[in-house]
Structure 1
Amino acid sequence: MTLSLRMAASVTVLLICGGFLNSTVAAAQPAPAIAPQWLCSPDLASDPCDLPSDTTDLGTGKVTPAQSVNESDKPVDCFYVYPTVSDQIALNADLTAQPEIQSIASYQAARFSTQCRVFAPIYRQMTLTPGIAGGVLGAPLAPLAYSDVLAAWNDYLAHDNNGRGVILVGHSQGTMMLRKLIHDEIDPNPQLRSQLVGAFLMGGNVLTARGSTVGGDFENVPLCTGRGETGCVVAYSTAVADPLLSLFGNSSIDLLSAPLGLRTGPAYEVACTDPGPLSGDAGPVGITIPSSPFAFGIISILLGYTSFPDGAPTSATTWTTSAERAVGACTEVNGYRMYQFHLTTPGQQVNELPLFSSHLVDMNLGYDRLVSIADQQIQTYLAGN
């Protein structure tokens, strides 16, 4: 199927969803926030954010043993909001830890657990289908999802934070929720800004004023520009080919920010912070994922088609890094600011989805560089506090 045909197919699906939603939007009214439900928390005996860190690198054959860190020894916390992953046939997901939600938390948050206590709320997110289409078409779905995230954040501050530093981690819809949270709750609050160790807001169109590190989503919280810098944001979306039509990277073609009242438009630019210089590792990197299969569903099917058409990398250890290596850089092509990468070794290629580029590997491509950035931020934060 050619790229243009696949784009047409995606648009057709959106329109079909839109036809269905015309009769259901009226029923999708915001509901009051309810008591937080935690997917990951230090109070849980086990959760999907607590995977051991032992890793096999298929490119080098190196096996790295698990790093054992007691919860009480972790100096800061991470607050993680997962991306669009729910397979439920509903506009908003319910508050259950569905298998696909557990899998994505392991994929995206568990690697950070060597650095921080991980708190991750379950929230009534816009579902893969028809929720995202419904939100784009105007149903009040995103505010309902955000009400859960905000309630969990306030609960965490009231009962668990105790003045500790915090790292925010999100992807896609999770990043959209955290953009709203930082904009409303953290950016205007000097005390909370002083506790912000850093934020990893991946695949979600973080905006700044053109040519600036602030002035879009946030007036005071800047993009990260140097190693060990704290209180700043790491943000980018990945791509392989030059973007032609994507939901990510272009502030003028952004259907995902408006449902929460976030800024859009040509006065702003989408953030791209190169993780190479920020981590101190600009060399080729692999894709690091849990060795256990992703829970079956829409995301696992898409991962099989796009990211791992020859099969996901796996090994006897908890984590596996792909044999293939890639290098990348922030680029601006056709009005899109993206982290574009290409393979430096032979192996399976990363295919791209129409409208989504290589969205599914935003976090896991060079995953350990993000963990290294977090570690350096923590050291700087502790030295200053």
Structure 2
Amino acid sequence: MRGALFAGLVLGLLVVGGSAAAEAPRPPANDYGREEAWLCRPGRSDACDIDLTATVVAANGALTRETWTRHPAPEVDCFYVYPTVSADTSPNSDMVPGPEERAVASRQLARFGQVCRIFAPLYRQITIPALRRMTAGETVPVDRDLAYGDIRDAWRHYLARENHGRGVILFGHSQGASVLKRLIQEEIDGKPAQARVVAAYLPGANILVPKGKDVGGDFKAMPLCRSRDQLGCVVSYVTFRERAPPPANSRFGRTTAEGMQVACANPAALGGGRATLNPVFGAKSMHPTAAPPLPWTTPQKPIDTPFVKVPGLISGICMSDDNGAYLAVRVDGDPADPRTDEISGDHLANGVVLPDWGLHSLDVPVAMGDLVELASDQAAAWRGKR
């Protein structure tokens, strides 16, 4: 399945069910005291120790290089759960990271090293091949509790052995955001651990709130973030093009739960309204499931960095109706200038855009700079609180 079906399908799988695990002995718990149980963690060279240099493409077509530096002594931590990426053929993945786990760290996570110490546990997630088989109608013995239990155990290990009273940002996308939602519900929301949470960033998952309110749905004590110095709050959104809002059958941005609405908190404008976004895209690949990027300039200029920034090109606003809410993204290109007037990133099936997925694969890249800047502001607020 080229791209499209797996990335958002996991949300439906984790939220509304899917095949139950076959009756079999539960695999033993992971020991998160082992270095090998982590994709990224402080003090070592790993998947988060990569080149994050970006080419900044100005509206006039000028190219400049922007280097990146890890924070030498961050005062807060990030606890990250990656989305559906595993290519393992088993229903749940093993604990050996492949190139796909390492790649998602470069696309979504490593840049947060500018703000925090990074803890990213490996976990036995539901795999892409398993989702393909379920899409084809097969009964597959996936074990959702195994995936969740790994993250719960990693979180408990982190709190007991690594946290030492530090603030922590929870961050996950798609399957990762859904697993973190359950972790927050069972281990954090309204419990002592909530006092450690700087914020939770959960893009690409349907987080429910009562219509017109910021708390009281999926989370009873943790509200949506509405200011940049607010602590213990949640940023969540699902991304669609403004010209192509979520259809009635969309997997994202819509709910049938009585009195509820999918949350939308724009990391570039927590108080509401439209704001220019600060995306960080792959220079040669928007995402493995999407079409490659269009030329960044006309005529095309060579770009030799792994990432690209396009300041001022894209804006976003939270939009809602009676049945949902979403981050509506607009490309504000100018046909008169040499910079691109469009971005790729839509989910494709046999070359055809799937409107019910929106820009799911770009949930993080389209607001990467905004999320990192927000993390920096909330980390400063945490320091002030101390």
User: Is 1:196 aligned with 2:197?
Assistant: yes
Matched residue type, 2:270? L
The alignment yields a C-alpha RMSD, in angstroms, of: 3.3
Could you tell me how far apart the structure 2 residues matched to 1:152 and 1:327 are? 36
Residue 164 of structure 1 deviates from its aligned partner by: 0.6
Matched residue type, 2:254? N
User: Is 1:304 aligned with 2:291?
Assistant: yes
Note closer, same or farther for the CA distance 1:132–1:212 as it changes in structure 2 (3 Å cut).
farther
Note closer, same or farther for the CA distance 1:85–1:140 as it changes in structure 2 (3 Å cut).
closer
Note closer, same or farther for the CA distance 1:28–1:133 as it changes in structure 2 (3 Å cut).
farther
Task: Say if 1:304 and 1:311, in contact at 8 Å, map to a contact too.
Answer: no
Task: Say if 1:51 and 1:318, in contact at 8 Å, map to a contact too.
Answer: no
Residue 369 of structure 1 deviates from its aligned partner by: 0.8
In the alignment, which residue of structure 2 is the partner of 1:256? none
Residue 51 of structure 1 deviates from its aligned partner by: 3.1
Matched residue type, 1:329? I
* Matched residues, number: 347
Residue 268 of structure 1 deviates from its aligned partner by: 2.0
In the alignment, which residue of structure 2 is the partner of 1:326? 314
Residue 111 of structure 1 deviates from its aligned partner by: 1.1
Most deviating of 48-57 and 154-163: 48-57
SS at match of 2:42: coil
Could you tell me how far apart the structure 2 residues matched to 1:116 and 1:250 are? 33
SS at match of 1:273: coil
User: Is 1:56 aligned with 2:55?
Assistant: yes
| Equivalent position to 2:161, from 159, 162, 170 | 159
In the alignment, which residue of structure 2 is the partner of 1:83? 83
Q: Which runs of 5+ in 1 are unaligned?
A: 1-5, 253-264
Residue 193 of structure 1 deviates from its aligned partner by: 1.4
SS at match of 2:276: coil
Residue 175 of structure 1 deviates from its aligned partner by: 0.2
In the alignment, which residue of structure 1 is the partner of 2:351? none
In the alignment, which residue of structure 2 is the partner of 1:46? 45
Deviations along 1:131-153, whole A, 9 cap, x unmatched?
47659978552111011111111
Matched residue type, 1:275? P
Task: Say if 2:246 and 2:252, in contact at 8 Å, map to a contact too.
Answer: no
Task: Say if 2:19 and 2:141, in contact at 8 Å, map to a contact too.
Answer: no
User: Is 1:352 aligned with 2:355?
Assistant: no
User: Is 1:35 aligned with 2:35?
Assistant: no
Residue 277 of structure 1 deviates from its aligned partner by: 2.0
Could you tell me how far apart the structure 2 residues matched to 1:106 and 1:112 are? 10
Task: Report matched runs for 1:171-190 at 5 Å.
Answer: 171-190=173-192
Note closer, same or farther for the CA distance 1:228–1:196 as it changes in structure 2 (3 Å cut).
same
Deviations along 1:20-39, whole A, 9 cap, x unmatched?
xx999536775342213100
Matched residue type, 2:364? M
Could you tell me how far apart the structure 2 residues matched to 1:186 and 1:23 are? 28
Residue 250 of structure 1 deviates from its aligned partner by: 1.2
Task: Say if 1:164 and 1:195, in contact at 8 Å, map to a contact too.
Answer: yes
Residue 279 of structure 1 deviates from its aligned partner by: 9.3
Could you tell me how far apart the structure 2 residues matched to 1:103 and 1:221 are? 31
Residue 185 of structure 1 deviates from its aligned partner by: 0.8
Note closer, same or farther for the CA distance 1:155–1:212 as it changes in structure 2 (3 Å cut).
same
Could you tell me how far apart the structure 1 residues matched to 2:110 and 2:273 are? 21
| Equivalent position to 2:252, from 248, 251, 272 | 248
Residue 310 of structure 1 deviates from its aligned partner by: 5.6
Note closer, same or farther for the CA distance 1:349–1:314 as it changes in structure 2 (3 Å cut).
same
SS at match of 2:303: coil
Relative to total residues, which structure has the larger helix share, 1 or 2? 1
TM-score (norm 1): 0.80
TM-score (norm 2): 0.80
Residue 68 of structure 1 deviates from its aligned partner by: 4.3
Matched residue type, 1:92? N
Note closer, same or farther for the CA distance 1:24–1:283 as it changes in structure 2 (3 Å cut).
closer
Matched residue type, 1:99? P
Deviations along 1:31-70, whole A, 9 cap, x unmatched?
3422131000014x21222335432212353432323422
Matched residue type, 2:198? V
Aligned-residue sequence identity (percent) comes to: 34
